[in-house]
Amino acid sequence: MAEEELYFSPSPHIKSKTTVPWVMRQVFLALLPAAVGSGYFFGFRYVFPSILISILACLGFETLDCLIFKKPLTIYDGSALVTGMLLGLSLPPGSPFWIALVGSGAAIILGKQMFGGLGQNIFNPALVGRAVLLISWPKAMTTWMARPPFALLPGAEGAEVVTTATPLTINQMNGFPFLQELDPQILKHLFLGQVPGSIGETSVLLLLLGFLYLLWRGVVSWHIPLTFFGGLSLVVLLGGESLFFHLLAGGAIMGGCFMATDYVTSPMTRRGQLIFGLGAGAITGIIRLLGNYPEGVTFGILIMNATVPLLDRILPPQFGGEKR
Amino acid sequence: MKTKTFPGGVHPPTYKEITAHKQIEVFPFPERLVLPLIQHTGAPLEPIVKKGDAVKRGQKIADVDAFVTAPLHASCSGKISSIEEWFHPVRGKCLAIVLENDGSSEEERRNPLPISEIENQQPQFLREWLREGGMVGLGGAAFPTHVKVSPPAGKNIEFLIINGAECEPYLTCDQRLMLEEISKIGIGLRILARASGASRVLVGIEDNKPEVIARWEEFSPHLPLPVEIVPLKTKYPQGSEKHLIRAILNREVPSGGLPLDVGVVVNNVQTTWAIGRMAEEGLPLIDRVITVSGDAIAQPKNLKVPIGSLLEDIIPFCGGVREPLKKVVMGGPMMGIAQVSLSVPVIKGTSGFLFFQSVWEKKEYPCIRCARCVNSCPMNLIPSWLARLSEFEAFEEAKAARALDCIECGACAYQCPAGIPLVQLIKLAKSEIIRSSRKGGD
């Protein structure tokens, strides 16, 4: 019982078990069903290289950055793992390997490390990577490979893979009735994931499964996803388009549940989160309905990311009644 | 059970099962007692005895001519062997009266307060009576009780809340008192209601103590005034005054204000017990019940100890330490203070001593803005932002972001997955803000 060995530290003397790597592991786990499912939908050799390269390149770029700037190695916090996974899942199946490589570089170096690393970045790194790719190589980023027996591939019998348009593109070019004619069960196929689209974004079912897991684990709350879908719904209804189609198609579920909910780039207050979600969803809808791009999730979230420092300041929570 | 609560807060494991069913044991008078002259929030005391004096148990030994203070009494009979600097569980070191127990049981008791006459006493008389008894809040902050029940002119106290939440993990001393000494608490409650002028009395108890709630629901109708038992959701910091009021009455104490500002006075159950005992037995605040617990103590206990008992004497009575002893905390694990010496005495605000075999540490990461601190903050602050302002010494901004509202409950730091010492940083900002305003900044 040597007194000099008594350990002194400030309160609290007990701590919860939640740590940063634990949080990152949960998000990674939640994305696994969509990742594995993509192999089933598109064929393993068209999706796994992109996912693997993205993850390894993100870890690699972060290591490189730490080495060059002589910082402690930070890859064990798990955030680069999640960024790599999210980026990989948002690429088109069968895209060339350098797409994943360049995207990872943009995500980690431009999107995260240049701001000062984990916690400091304003924009969601995976979306920065994707936006850079989308603007720089629009063709590679909008060439959608798919394989039979997808319903949206008329005349593709016998071919192993074909390139095709996504439901959102068909909807934008030819309207929803035409799409329904092509695939009368389009909503069901969107829900299950049997449509052309980005690797991990097509199966609403598998994404929601992962999201429910995060809700159950207390990693995310409903505030941002619900308002995101609310904002999107509002614009879609005002524009007179099919609500269910827009909620299920493209990256809406992936964006609303996994990208917009990124801790670092979303507001910390409840009120801020509600406005953030609403804005990101509404901008997504506006781009989809009025913009050149058939999909608006990437820019919808990135634009709202820029408002986060403001939202955190102008809506501080209050406590305390009037002094009597 | 229908329970009330407040927004925010956290759910740490309670660890109360270790001592919850252990009856209060009486710790025998040790050979030596050490009574620091700082026991409470307010003006420090001055000794009114000198080295070599013989004193009786219950005799006043220190006081000072100030309103926000409470006198100190000898907790056993004996001789003043010295007045010297001693280890203090909160202040590090402080002047203390050292009392050698002479083994005799000489006592100085006041006249008991006629129990049936409580409701006919003048409030001002009761307030002075409380001050003379050295009554302070026994929940931890040790604020003088007579000050609490003296509303300034123009303000009225409508509600008296008896705080039986005991939301800190490990601690069970209040819980045991509420079961074992219920009638004394009932008397204390009547005195507090009369002294403060409160017309309604509410007793808040967390729902992890159902046997206490049941016992009180059965007991309260026998009291001569209406007393409502309010079951509370088990959540930390439910026992904080402001959050007890928020939960029970749905009123928010204004920033920088007191419960008085919303017509409420809150008193801890153990304080209420001590008041009841003084009324019945004429003994001032010279003992209290503490919880001794944790994985590094052989026999965890609820103990009734004389104020001034030294930790090093209490340890053998609890079966000794289970090595390796790494950390000793006075109070609960959320707000308690780590001790550097085992020679510290029990003071009026000591709710317990916890002994730990391991130190709970988390690897530190950058803030990932997960908002767990925001969601758990019972004061609706943004702890991570305040901590960052503190780090960058932006104390004026921290003040504007309501840093002074922080009650230092530690819910944010408990939750933080990045292991950031949030409360510590906010405390630093608070002390800097207070220092600069004392210097005449504004």
ipTM of the complex: 0.90
Number of independent structural domains in chain A: 2
Residue A67 burial (C-beta neighbours within 10 Å; 0-12, 13-18, 19+): exposed
The answer to whether residues B269 and B132 belong to one domain is yes
Question: B112-148 b/e with 16+ CB inside 10 Å = b?
Answer: ebeeeebeebeeeebbebbbbbbbbbbbbebbbbbbb
Tell me what the mean pLDDT of segment B134-138 comes to. 93
Between helix B173-180 and helix B182-196 the angle, nearest 10°, is 100
CATH of the domain at B254: 3.40.50.11540
Number of independent structural domains in chain B: 2
Question: Which one-letter amino acid corresponds to residue A70?
Answer: K
For residue B177, tell me if it sits in a domain: yes
Residue A296: predicted pLDDT: 92
- Domain holding A232, by residue range, is 166-310
Give me B295's structure tokens. 């994985």
The answer to whether residues A79 and A172 belong to one domain is no
For residue B220, tell me if it sits in a domain: yes
For residue A14, tell me if it sits in a domain: no
The answer to whether residues A104 and A174 belong to one domain is no
As a whole number of angstroms, the distance between CA A222 and CA A136 comes to 34
The string of pLDDT tens digits covering residues B299-354 is: 999 999 999 999 999 999 999 999 899 999 999 999 999 999 999 999 999 999 99
Domain boundary among the residues B255, B281, B307 is at B281
Residues of A in contact with B255 (CB under 8 A): 319-320
Give me A216's structure tokens. 């159950």
For residue B101, tell me if it sits in a domain: no
The string of pLDDT tens digits covering residues B403-430 is: 999 999 999 999 999 999 999 999 999 9
Q: Would you say A149 and A189 are in contact if contact means Cβ atoms under 8 Å apart?
A: no
For residue B378, tell me if it sits in a domain: yes
Q: Would you say B328 and B339 are in contact if contact means Cβ atoms under 8 Å apart?
A: yes
Q: Tell which residue, B261, B330, B383, has the closest CA to residue B88.
A: B330
Q: What mean pLDDT, rounded, does chain A reach?
A: 91
The string of pLDDT tens digits covering residues B341-381 is: 999 999 999 999 999 999 988 999 999 999 999 999 999 99
The answer to whether residues B266 and B386 belong to one domain is no
The answer to whether residues A110 and A194 belong to one domain is no
The string of pLDDT tens digits covering residues B205-256 is: 999 999 999 999 999 999 999 999 999 999 999 999 999 999 999 999 998 8
The answer to whether residues A208 and A306 belong to one domain is yes
Domain boundary among the residues B218, B251, B281 is at B281
The answer to whether residues B376 and B274 belong to one domain is no
As a whole number of angstroms, the distance between CA B310 and CA B307 comes to 9
**Share of residues in chain B with pLDDT > 90 (%):** 86
Residues of A in contact with B249 (CB under 8 A): none
List Cβ neighbours of B341 (8 Å cut-off, separation of 6 or more): A3, A6, B87
Q: What length is written for chain B?
A: 442
Give me B92's structure tokens. 């590090």
As a whole number of angstroms, the distance between CA B269 and CA B189 comes to 9
Question: Which one-letter amino acid corresponds to residue B221?
Answer: P
Closest Cβ opposite residue B252 in set A8, A312, A321: A321
Q: Would you say B357 and B296 are in contact if contact means Cβ atoms under 8 Å apart?
A: yes
Residues of B in contact with A18 (CB under 8 A): 372, 415, 417
The answer to whether residues B226 and B127 belong to one domain is yes
3-state secondary structure chain A: CCHHHCCCCCCCCCCCCCCHHHHHHHHHHHHHHHHHHHHHHHCHHHHHHHHHHHHHHHHHHHHHHHHHCCCCCCHHHCHHHHHHHHHHHCCCCCCCHHHHHHHHHHHHHHCCHHHCCCCCCCCCHHHHHHHHHHHHCHHHHCCEEECCCCCCCCCCCCCCCEEECCHHHHHHHHCHHHHHHHCCCHHHHHHHCCCCCCCCCCCHHHHHHHHHHHHHCCCCCCHHHHHHHHHHHHHHHHCCCCHHHHHHCCCHHHHHHHHCCCCCCCCCCHHHHHHHHHHHHHHHHHHHHHCCCCCCHHHHHHHHHCCHHHHHHHCCCCCCCCCC
Q: Would you say A30 and A213 are in contact if contact means Cβ atoms under 8 Å apart?
A: yes
For residue A227, tell me if it sits in a domain: yes
Closest Cβ opposite residue A263 in set B323, B369, B423: B369
Q: Do B410 and A119 touch (CB under 8 A)?
A: no
Domain boundary among the residues A86, A107, A141 is at A141
As a whole number of angstroms, the distance between CA B332 and CA B15 comes to 11
Distance from CA of B155 to the nearest CA of A (A): 8
Residue A182: predicted pLDDT: 84
Q: Say which DSSP state B65 is in.
A: S
As a whole number of angstroms, the distance between CA A101 and CA A58 comes to 8
The answer to whether residues B397 and B259 belong to one domain is no
Q: Do A317 and B10 touch (CB under 8 A)?
A: no
Is residue A317 within 8 angstroms of chain B, CB to CB?
yes
The answer to whether residues A80 and A184 belong to one domain is no
The answer to whether residues B274 and B414 belong to one domain is no
Closest Cβ opposite residue A269 in set B12, B374, B408: B374
Which residue in B156, B367, B428 has the most chain A C-beta atoms within 10 A of its own C-beta, making it the best mutation to test that interface? Answer: B367
The string of pLDDT tens digits covering residues B100-122 is: 998 888 889 888 889 888 999 99
Q: Tell which residue, A75, A107, A78, A76, has the closest CA to residue A90.
A: A107
The answer to whether residues A179 and A271 belong to one domain is yes
List Cβ neighbours of A156 (8 Å cut-off, separation of 6 or more): A147, A148, A162, A164
Cα angle A140, A142, A146; round to 5? 100
- Domain holding B219, by residue range, is 16-20+112-281
Band of residue A155 on the pLDDT scale cut at 50, 70, 90: low
The string of pLDDT tens digits covering residues A256-268 is: 999 999 999 999 9
For residue B33, tell me if it sits in a domain: no
For residue B26, tell me if it sits in a domain: no
The answer to whether residues A206 and A81 belong to one domain is no
Residue A324: predicted pLDDT: 43
Residue A43 burial (C-beta neighbours within 10 Å; 0-12, 13-18, 19+): middle
How many interface pairs between A and B have CB atoms less than 8 angstroms apart? 164
Closest Cβ opposite residue A19 in set B362, B402, B427: B362
The string of pLDDT tens digits covering residues B82-105 is: 999 999 999 889 999 999 998 888
The answer to whether residues A182 and A289 belong to one domain is yes
For residue A13, tell me if it sits in a domain: no
For residue A178, tell me if it sits in a domain: yes
Residue B442: predicted pLDDT: 47
The answer to whether residues A244 and A296 belong to one domain is yes
Residue A183: predicted pLDDT: 85
Q: Tell which residue, B257, B231, B256, has the closest CA to residue B244.
A: B231
For residue B331, tell me if it sits in a domain: no
As a whole number of angstroms, the distance between CA B406 and CA B218 comes to 37
DSSP B373-384: HHHH-TT---HH
Bond prior to A167 in cis (omega within 30° of 0): no
Least confident among B1-5, B164-168, B401-405, B422-426: B1-5
List C-alpha distances in Å: B216 to B181, B211, B273, B286. 11, 9, 14, 26
Between helix A297-305 and helix A270-290 the angle, nearest 10°, is 140
For residue A281, tell me if it sits in a domain: yes
For residue A108, tell me if it sits in a domain: yes
The answer to whether residues A98 and A188 belong to one domain is no
The string of pLDDT tens digits covering residues A92-145 is: 999 999 999 999 999 999 999 999 999 999 999 999 999 999 999 999 998 888
Domain boundary among the residues B233, B252, B281 is at B281
The answer to whether residues A251 and A289 belong to one domain is yes
Closest Cβ opposite residue A8 in set B340, B371, B385: B340
Q: Would you say A118 and A282 are in contact if contact means Cβ atoms under 8 Å apart?
A: no
Residues of A in contact with B333 (CB under 8 A): 11-14
